[in-house]
Chain A
Amino acid sequence: MTLLTLSHLTKRYDGHATGPAALADVSLTIAAGERVALLGHNGAGKSTLMKCVLGLIAPSSGEIAIAGHAQGSPVARALSSYLPESAAFHPALTGREQIRHFLRLRGEAASKADGLLDRVGLQGAAGRRIGTYSKGMRQRIGLAQALIGAPRLMVLDEPTSGLDPISRREFYDILDELAENGTAILLSSHALSEVEARTDRIVILSKGQQVTEGTLNDLRRHAALPLTVSMIPRLGKCASLANAFPEAQEEHGALVFSCAPDDKGQVLERLAANTERVADFDIHPPSLDDIYAHISRRAA
Chain B
Amino acid sequence: MMFARILSTARIEFAIALRNRWVAVGVVLMVLFSLVLSLAGAGSAGSLAADPLSVTVASLTSLSVYLVPLIALLISFDAIAGEVERGTLPLHLTYPLSRSEMLLGKLAAQLAVVAIAVGAGYGLAAGYAFLTAGGDAFAGLPALWRLIWSSTLLGAGFLSLGHMMSALARRPSGAAALAIGLWLIMIVLYDLGLLAAIVADDGGVFTTDIFPWALILNPADAFRIYNLAASDAVSAVSGLAGAASSIAIWKPLASLLLWPVLAAFAARFAFGRVTP
Contacts and interface: CB of A to CB of B under 8 A. Distances in A.
Interface string B1-27: 100110011011001100110000000
Interface string A132-144: 0000000000100
Contacts, number: 68
Given A51-B90, A93-B12, A102-B95, 19 more contacts: A54-B90, A54-B94, A57-B275, A77-B95, A77-B96, A78-B96, A81-B94, A82-B90, A84-B91, A86-B87, A88-B87, A88-B88, A89-B88, A97-B15, A101-B8, A104-B8, A105-B5, A105-B9, A105-B95
Contacts of A21: none
13 contacts: A51-B276, A54-B90, A57-B276, A74-B96, A81-B94, A90-B12, A97-B12, A101-B8, A101-B12, A104-B8, A105-B97, A107-B1, A107-B4
A89 B16 CA distance: 12
Interface size class of A (residues with CB under 8 A): 20 to 34
A86 B88 CA distance: 10
Interface of B: 1, 4-5, 8-9, 11-12, 15-16, 19-20, 86-88, 90-91, 93-97, 275-276
B91 A82 contact: yes
A80 B94 CA distance: 8
B20 A92 contact: yes
Nearest to B97: A105
B16 A56 contact: no
B94 A56 contact: yes
B89 to A, nearest CB: 9
A270 interface: no
A82 B94 contact: yes
Q: Closest 10 CB pairs between A and B?
A: A104-B8, A88-B87, A92-B19, A82-B94, A101-B12, A105-B95, A54-B94, A77-B96, A56-B276, A78-B96
A87 interface: yes
Given A80-B94, A84-B91, A90 B16 contact: yes
A55 interface: yes
A142 B90 CA distance: 13
A269 B233 CA distance: 110
Contacts of B94: 54-56, 77, 80-82
A273 to B, nearest CB: 61
B11 A101 contact: yes
A60 to B, nearest CB: 13
B86 A88 contact: yes
Contacts of B15: 92-93, 97
A156 to B, nearest CB: 12
Contact of B96 (A90, A98, A101, A105): A105
A184 B1 CA distance: 27
Nearest to B93: A56
A237 interface: no
A87 B87 CA distance: 8
A104 B16 contact: no
Nearest to A92: B19
B92 to A, nearest CB: 8
Contact of A90 (B8, B11, B88, B93): B88
B123 to A, nearest CB: 27
A264 interface: no
